[in-house]
């Protein structure tokens, strides 16, 4: 019927390699957080550090598969419409006999017999893992918002038309798929093994094939890693599936707030601090391995660091009151507010404790520093003109500029980490109305409003890719953490228990060990 279209498969080199670290769960920090176990807490929160092992799969044909060395991405376009992606659920694959036999020392190699009781239990667990992994992978890709997700009910048409066990690209093209991501999953000993292939449907090529391994019970972690890989290689998109959000919550007791972590999608909410005091305003280290935050555990609010993978915490600045820390992009400094010289001023403290510098000096309040992505400029809030407004200054305190001119109260600036957009988000109030999240674009000098008067919306924080914003809102009663796209769409509520404030979106942890 249709004239054959030329393949539009282009492999483009990535300019900069994305983080290559493996995904990892959270290790409770002794002395900082209690180990958490119990229903609803994922295995990775309870102790282990599941890694996702990745190996390339042999290409099914001689024409593809060679791209796996190096960074590349597909350049598939569909003029006037988003590219359509089909992601069928993971199919269950039987354990590979050869690999099982490799684990000669293990006594529980029994699942080799699928009809034994143990074999049925494993089959049930594999099915549950496949179900979780399918839902998580779908959710992660959909969250990116760059693909039109083809509904799963169409897939049976394509599958029914294909010969048994054979991938018929024309069938998938006929239901409108541009990209097909298919995978199998099995339990092999103590490991979860997924094999995933991505196909450029119109080009009729398998462009991506990888085997992923993770600990049993870590299906979410496994799927997050797969999702980020798919997004990177399907369209050079930096996914956020392995990112995490830190926040402050009062859920653990009256008159106390603890620092918690959660995955970007709200799953796996778990404590970092557990001291029954007031612990607030977390800020991530750029490598996603540590947090700085303010704790009142010794009375006065002091600046603490928590090294999540070393089980270690320390007080960095303890005398006088300290507030609103912000870790520098190069990882070496914490900008924060202190009253050590009488008024609220902004300081820099070296993370190794070797140095302390004051950046502001006036009678007004200076608070809430936020670094530019290149670390040369700091945005902050000051009421030096009578009302809180957003300013920027160089990291030595010079070259002061006012950013916000509208509104009677502007606070909590957050600088977009995006390479494409030079913009800053903050909470803004007109007269005495509730706060809304606004974004100021430095290039166009325009300010756009992302939330529209539903409750008070505060403390914006950018996703590492600069395309989503987390914030706290009391639109549903207590303060809760939400995320939205940078244009204000795709709103999602992540927390529901207690009051949850000051979300801070962190990079995925690189090299967790």
Contacting range for other proteins; rule: CB under 8 A; set: 23-31, 195-203, 397-405, 429-437:
429-437
Contacting range for other proteins; rule: CB under 8 A; set: 24-32, 66-74, 150-158, 297-305:
297-305
- Least Å distance, CB 498 to other proteins, is 13
281 lines the binding site for other proteins (CB under 8 A): yes
End-to-end CA distance of the chain: 56
Contacting range for other proteins; rule: CB under 8 A; set: 1-9, 58-66, 105-113, 381-389:
381-389
Q: Which is nearer to other proteins, 273 or 501 (CB)?
A: 501
Q: Which is nearer to other proteins, 8 or 475 (CB)?
A: 475
75 lines the binding site for other proteins (CB under 8 A): no
Q: Which is nearer to other proteins, 102 or 318 (CB)?
A: 318
Nearest to 400 by CA among 438, 367, 359, 364: 359
- Least Å distance, CB 284 to other proteins, is 16
Contacting range for other proteins; rule: CB under 8 A; set: 164-172, 354-362, 405-413, 485-493:
405-413
Of 162, 174, 321, 418, which lies in the binding site for other proteins, with binding defined by CB under 8 A? 321
Q: Are 317 and 336 in contact, with CB atoms under 8 Å apart?
A: yes
Contacting range for other proteins; rule: CB under 8 A; set: 58-66, 222-230, 363-371, 399-407:
363-371
435 lines the binding site for other proteins (CB under 8 A): yes
- Least Å distance, CB 492 to other proteins, is 21
Assigned token pair, 424: 């800053």
- Least Å distance, CB 472 to other proteins, is 8
Contacting range for other proteins; rule: CB under 8 A; set: 67-75, 166-174, 302-310, 456-464:
456-464
Secondary structure element (H or E) that encloses residue 53, with its range = strand 53-56
- Sort strands 270-271 and 258-263 into parallel, antiparallel or unpaired: antiparallel
Of 142, 383, 394, 441, which lies in the binding site for other proteins, with binding defined by CB under 8 A? 383
505 lines the binding site for other proteins (CB under 8 A): no
Q: Which is nearer to other proteins, 206 or 324 (CB)?
A: 324
Q: Which is nearer to other proteins, 217 or 388 (CB)?
A: 388
Q: Which is nearer to other proteins, 37 or 362 (CB)?
A: 362
Assigned token pair, 502: 């000051």
- Least Å distance, CB 411 to other proteins, is 4
What is the longest distance spanned by two Cα atoms in the chain?
80
Of 165, 255, 445, 452, which lies in the binding site for other proteins, with binding defined by CB under 8 A? 255
Contacting range for other proteins; rule: CB under 8 A; set: 172-180, 187-195, 351-359, 426-434:
426-434
Site for other proteins in 462-491 (CB under 8 A): 472, 474
203 lines the binding site for other proteins (CB under 8 A): no
Distance from the Cα of residue 137 to its chain's centroid: 14
Crossing angle of helices 219-235 and 117-144, rounded to 10° = 40
Site for other proteins in 341-360 (CB under 8 A): 342-344
- Least Å distance, CB 250 to other proteins, is 9
Of 210, 220, 233, 257, which lies in the binding site for other proteins, with binding defined by CB under 8 A? 257
When computed from its CA atoms, the radius of gyration of the chain, rounded to whole angstroms, is 25
- In whole angstroms, give the CA distance from residue 440 to residue 413: 10
Q: Which is nearer to other proteins, 182 or 410 (CB)?
A: 410
Distant-in-sequence contacts of 463-466, Cβ < 8 A, 24+ apart: 463/240, 463/243, 463/264, 463/505, 464/238, 464/240, 464/243, 464/417, 464/505, 464/506, 464/507, 464/508, 465/237, 465/238, 465/239, 465/240, 465/417, 465/418, 466/416, 466/417, 466/418, 466/419, 466/420, 466/421
Residue showing tokens 């507010």: 337
246 lines the binding site for other proteins (CB under 8 A): no
Contacting range for other proteins; rule: CB under 8 A; set: 88-96, 218-226, 335-343, 445-453:
335-343
Q: Which is nearer to other proteins, 220 or 257 (CB)?
A: 257
- In whole angstroms, give the CA distance from residue 294 to residue 283: 9
251 lines the binding site for other proteins (CB under 8 A): no
Sequential DSSP letters for 421-482: --EEEEEEESTTSPPEEEEEETTTTEEEE-S-SSS-EEEEEE-TTSSEEEEEE-TTSS-EEE
- In whole angstroms, give the CA distance from residue 192 to residue 221: 11
Nearest to 450 by CA among 464, 471, 436: 436
390 lines the binding site for other proteins (CB under 8 A): no
Assigned token pair, 312: 């270690």
Q: Which is nearer to other proteins, 133 or 294 (CB)?
A: 294
- In whole angstroms, give the CA distance from residue 257 to residue 280: 7
440 lines the binding site for other proteins (CB under 8 A): no
Give φ, ψ of 394 to 5 degrees: -65, 165
Alpha helices in 103-198 (DSSP H): 117-144, 155-161, 169-174
Sequential DSSP letters for 208-231: EEEEEEEETT-HHHHHHHHHHHHH
277 lines the binding site for other proteins (CB under 8 A): no
Q: Interface residues with other proteins (CB under 8 A)?
A: 255, 257, 278, 280-281, 296, 299-301, 321, 323-324, 337, 339, 342-344, 365-368, 381, 383, 387-388, 409, 411-412, 427, 432, 434-435, 456, 458-459, 472, 474, 501-502
């Amino acid at each position: 019927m249709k004239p054959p279209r030329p393949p539009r498969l282009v492999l483009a080199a990535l300019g900069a390699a994305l983080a290559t670290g493996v995904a990892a769960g959270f290790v409770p920090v002794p002395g900082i957080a209690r180990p958490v176990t119990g229903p609803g807490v994922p295995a990775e929160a309870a102790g282990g550090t599941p890694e996702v092992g990745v190996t390339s799969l042999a290409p099914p044909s001689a024409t593809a598969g060679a791209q796996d060395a190096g960074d590349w991405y597909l350049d598939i376009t569909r003029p006037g419409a988003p590219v359509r992606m089909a992601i069928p659920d993971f199919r269950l694959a039987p354990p590979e006999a050869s690999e099982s036999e490799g684990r000669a020392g293990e006594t529980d190699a029994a699942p080799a017999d699928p009809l034994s009781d143990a074999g049925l239990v494993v089959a049930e667990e594999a099915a549950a893992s496949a179900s979780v992994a399918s839902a998580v992978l779908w959710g992660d890709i959909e969250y990116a918002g760059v693909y039109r997700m083809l509904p799963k009910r169409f897939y049976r048409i394509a599958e029914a038309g294909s010969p048994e066990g054979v991938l018929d690209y024309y069938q998938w093209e006929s239901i409108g798929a541009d990209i097909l991501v298919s995978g199998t999953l099995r339990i092999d000993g103590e490991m979860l093994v997924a094999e995933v292939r991505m196909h450029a449907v119109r080009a009729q090529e398998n462009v991506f094939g990888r085997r992923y391994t993770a600990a049993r019970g870590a299906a979410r972690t496994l799927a997050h890693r797969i999702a980020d890989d798919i997004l990177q290689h399907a369209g050079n998109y930096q996914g956020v599936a392995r990112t995490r959000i830190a926040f402050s919550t009062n859920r653990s007791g009256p008159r106390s707030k603890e620092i918690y972590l959660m995955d970007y999608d709200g799953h796996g909410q778990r404590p970092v601090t557990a001291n029954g005091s007031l612990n607030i305003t977390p800020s991530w280290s750029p490598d996603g391995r540590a947090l700085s935050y303010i704790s009142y555990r010794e009375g006065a609010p002091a600046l603490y660091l928590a090294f999540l993978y070393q089980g270690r915490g320390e007080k960095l600045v303890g005398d006088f009151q300290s507030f609103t820390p912000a870790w520098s992009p190069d990882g070496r400094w914490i900008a924060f507010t202190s009253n050590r010289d009488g008024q609220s001023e902004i300081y820099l403290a070296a993370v190794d404790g070797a140095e302390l510098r004051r950046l502001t000096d006036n009678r007004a309040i200076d608070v809430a520093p936020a670094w530019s992505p290149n670390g040369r400029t700091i945005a902050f809030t000051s009421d030096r003109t009578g009302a809180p407004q957003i300013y920027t200054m160089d990291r030595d305190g010079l070259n002061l500029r006012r950013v916000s001119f509208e509104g009677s109260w502007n606070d909590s600036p957050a600088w977009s980490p995006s390479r494409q957009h030079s913009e800053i988000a903050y909470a803004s109030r007109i007269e005495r109305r509730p706060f809304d999240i606004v974004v100021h674009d430095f290039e166009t000098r325009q300010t756009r409003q992302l939330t529209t008067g539903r409750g008070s919306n505060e403390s914006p924080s950018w996703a590492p890719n600069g395309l989503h914003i987390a914030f706290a809102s009391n639109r549903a009663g207590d303060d809760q953490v939400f995320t939205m796209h940078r244009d204000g769409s795709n709103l999602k509520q992540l927390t529901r228990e207690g009051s949850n404030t000051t979300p801070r979106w962190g990079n995925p942890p690189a090299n967790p060990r």
